[in-house]
Structure 1
């Protein structure tokens, strides 16, 4: 898959695609259906399959927390067979273009599109994009299809429903709409190493720009860049007692003790187990962590692991890992 960040001065090989047009954060089932419509046109016209997404929003709206990082989005689009990915950085002049001018300057003169697949509710200025695309398509010689999202409703609604499911602690519902588990990717950072001292070392990854799932404990699967995949149990939350208020994913990888600081990992939230709790002692916390681990193993279909002895009692703490 080739990635292009401008629509001007493209070579002939980078023009003439059948494209899906929209915001592909999450690459959920609604997006998959939209890309499938563009793929059908690409086969019919014998042209490349393209995806067009504008890096800058073209409407005044609150920026939503992301469902996928740019790297995750690129990998998922590549897996869907996309040939050309146009990640267009919109300058101020281009961002101020009206519907017809944007379509003519960017999609026609720049990309030379043969077909545009879109969803009818998408923006691109007042009045929506679908009518403008049909009008310009008739004038400039490209065809247009509108995605019927069916059970997933429209594309933007599907994205909002995924975020809401995660905020309610329903990763199963989010996975049904995404077509895969919601996954948090990031670089493993140093923490307080409390879990390591207590016998359950955790890999800590800040949530950053991701949507914040419900605070609590999850059964997980974590992938490494070398292809390894490990089961585990994770806590997502904050620790007000120690002044740590930025949400963090802390994942205990079962039967694993390698030093992975600085490495990038991607962790699937498979199942929500319980909300975040405050514990009166480390003894109580450690006991619950091992109960959480046993439950995660059960949910992941793993052989149960015998419980470990709890350490001596220490001070009050707010998080389980």
Structure 2
């Protein structure tokens, strides 16, 4: 049975021992997959549970509260992705003032040893942890020799001569380079969630949308996109999507709105995934709703062309 835990302190979760990998895991790109894969394979060989240890919010979000850095992936998607990669247990530790001020040595003793009974700890290149980021691989190896675990670092995963990183993926997404982002991720970039009720403005304008919230996080991309929607049929459904704050109607919260071409049905509460294919344009504020509708019609046509979807024939008057 898969297990999620949020607290850094508490009873021992794996008294028999565990193999632990640690990271932000934002995006679960090729580098993350290599790290998790190594820990899972070592856990299977040792007959121990594989534990992925991460944080929510991410430390960089906690320390930049007024201008939160963009996120590639929401916590639920990260959790499900780590399970899919073979982790038996996932820790999304609450990163708060207490955890931020915890010395690296205490993190090793209280979390890795007491909480997880770690036998092996795996980290990515240049990994740091603890108050002031004073903890590193050298400290893990030193304390591991004293406390009964080994510590290891995987080699950097390279693509096109550069290290795979979440920063490279964010840069690619900002530039609308979904091909590069997909290669770095090992899969197309997509955002999933449960369809929620909106103001239904799109329906009144002739463009009903399936709306997904982004959980108070800052998205890594904004604008209008040609997209595929997964989870509404046996095949991906062609669509055009807007991701942003809807400046024409004075929106505030980032919202992902997917208009599924020629779709009829109720999607409220359904969990879907929106796959991004191409960037059409940036968000902009229009002087009035007719101007917005005219642009939405052009976006519709452009997205259909990119996805090679024919518009339905309209009956003549």
Which TM-score band (shorter chain)? 0.7 to 0.9
| Alignment-derived partner of residue 149 in structure 1 | 156
Distance 1:23 1:231 in 2: 32
Distance 1:235 1:281, change over 3 A: same
Count of residue pairs the alignment pairs up: 305
1:225 to 1:203, Cα distance in 2 relative to 1, 3 A: closer
CA gap 1:186/1:56 in 2 versus in 1, 3 angstroms: closer
Identify which range, 225-234 or 197-206, moves more after superposition.
225-234
Match of 1:9 in 2: 11
Counterpart of 2:89 (choices 66, 77, 84) is 84
8 Å CA contact 2:224–2:243 kept in 1: the answer is: yes
Structure 1 residue 278 displacement after superposition: 5.5
SS in 2 for 1:246: coil
Structure 1 position 56, deviation (Å): 6.0
CA offset at residue 67 of structure 1?
1.8
**Structure 1 residue 133: deviation in Å?**
0.7
Tell me the residue number matched to 2:259.
Answer: 252
Pairwise CA distance, 1:135? 0.7
8 Å CA contact 1:218–1:274 kept in 2: the answer is yes
Q: Report the equivalent of 1:319.
A: none
Q: What residue number does 1:18 align with? A: 19
Q: Hey, what does 1:184 align to over in structure 2?
A: 191
Shift of 1:163: 2.4
Give the Cα–Cα distance (whole angstroms) in 2 for the partners of residues 274 and 22 of structure 1.
Answer: 34
Contact 2:190 2:274 in 1 (8 A): yes
Match of residue 216 from structure 1: 223
Shift of 1:186: 3.6
Query: Following the alignment from structure 1 to structure 2, what is the Cα–Cα distance between the partners of residues 23 and 144?
Result: 18
1:240 corresponding residue in structure 2: 247
Deviation at 1:76, TM superposition (A): 0.6
CA deviation digits over 1:252-307, x for unaligned, max 9? 1123121223444321212212333556776665555344334433433x442246
8 Å contact from structure 1 (residues 67, 210) kept in 2: no
When the two chains are superposed, the root-mean-square deviation of aligned CA atoms in Å is 3.2
| TM-score normalised over the length of structure 1 | 0.80
Equivalent of 1:304, from 301, 307, 310? 310
Measured after TM superposition, the shift of residue 66 of structure 1 is 2.4
- CA gap of 1:107–1:221, structure 2 versus 1, over 3 A, is same
Q: TM-score, normalised by structure 2?
A: 0.81
**Matched residue, 1:268:** 275
Q: C-alpha offsets along residues 197-234 of structure 1, whole Å, 9 cap, x if unaligned?
A: 34332223334434434443211122338977422111
* Alignment partners' CA distance in 2, 1:11 and 1:276: 47
